[in-house]
Chains A and B, each alone.
Chain A
């Protein structure tokens, strides 16, 4: 149908979702969408994403603090470090759009940070998944699931958002999540 309607490149996935062997996201289309009005500008989008990255960093820190398994603690520290780097990149990007900003503290004071990437609060998520975070492969699986949901959320945000610059920020964030997923996959392969 698409090829006959002016679409330049149309591909069909052989076997559909049943044959798909990559990561999958789940949940309704509007899950996590209440945090986005749709009329935000790029700076507000960066602030929103920064809060989510901070939420996820806090989650990994909490996992590391609560576990007695050294390997899980080390992995949790490593994962929280990755989220720190994401935050730094977002702040640097913010500075390119708002040169009048009065330091990172002023930026962070505007951020709502009780939401993780994917839309849950840290405590809610820890409580729901306590049983699945006892070993480092468990934690890697959870991390991959969270990054997959985040990628999906950023792309759903990009559909709702009207600002083109903001959309580009979201595409960049989704692209980062894609790269992060590949690194996590490699880390998992090393362990198996």
Chain B
């Protein structure tokens, strides 16, 4: 499954599509972004997800590589 996007709009992925994306892309070439609170992150997260709680996202955008695809949840 190949999911590509040419414009800057956000695309919704179903879990199966997201899993396909992760299968087809090497680790380090995309970011999984967990925008929930730390307590939720600790209970269960997609392995390898980067935690940036939504209230902090604007101030911490510099930690993310804008050239890499980001899958947020």
Interchain CB contact under 8 A, A13 and B47:
no
Interchain CB contact under 8 A, B71 and A8:
no
A11 in complex: contacting residue of B27, B50, B58, B72, CB < 8 Å: B72
CB distance from A186 to the nearest CB of B (A): 13
The answer, yes or no, to whether B59 is at the interface (CB within 8 Å) is no
A-B contact count (CB 8 A): 144
- Chain B interface: which size bin? 35 or more
Complex Cα–Cα for A144 and B57 (A): 31
Which residues, 161 to 192 on A, are CB-close (under 8 Å) to B?
Answer: 167-168, 170-172, 174-175, 178, 182
Contacts of B21 in A (CB 8 A): 11
Interchain CB contact under 8 A, B47 and A25:
yes
Interchain CB contact under 8 A, B72 and A12:
yes
Residues A178 and B11 in contact in the complex (CB < 8 Å), given A6-B66, A24-B44, A159-B50: no
Interchain CB contact under 8 A, B67 and A151:
no
Interchain CB contact under 8 A, A10 and B70:
yes
Contacts of B27 in A (CB 8 A): 151, 154-155, 171-172, 174-175, 178
Q: Mark B1-22, 1 if CB is under 8 A from A, else 0.
A: 0010100111111111011011
Contacts of A21 in B (CB 8 A): 15-16, 19
Complex Cα–Cα for A1 and B58 (A): 9
Interchain CB contact under 8 A, A17 and B48:
no
Contacts of B68 in A (CB 8 A): 9
- Chain A interface: which size bin? 35 or more
Interchain CB contact under 8 A, B72 and A17:
no
Complex Cα–Cα for A4 and B10 (A): 9
Task: Give 8 closest A-B pairs by Cβ, nearest first.
Answer: A171-B28, A155-B48, A9-B69, A13-B73, A174-B27, A152-B47, A25-B47, A24-B44
A/B interface sample: 13 pairs, CB < 8 A:
A3-B10, A7-B8, A11-B70, A12-B71, A12-B73, A13-B71, A17-B40, A20-B15, A26-B42, A26-B44, A151-B47, A155-B47, A174-B27
Binding site for A on B (CB under 8 A): 3, 5, 8-16, 18-19, 21-23, 26-28, 34, 36, 38, 40-51, 57-58, 61, 64, 66-73
Known: A151-B48, A154-B27, A178-B27. 11 other contacts (CB 8 A): A11-B3, A11-B21, A12-B10, A14-B14, A17-B40, A25-B45, A154-B48, A171-B28, A172-B27, A174-B27, A175-B26
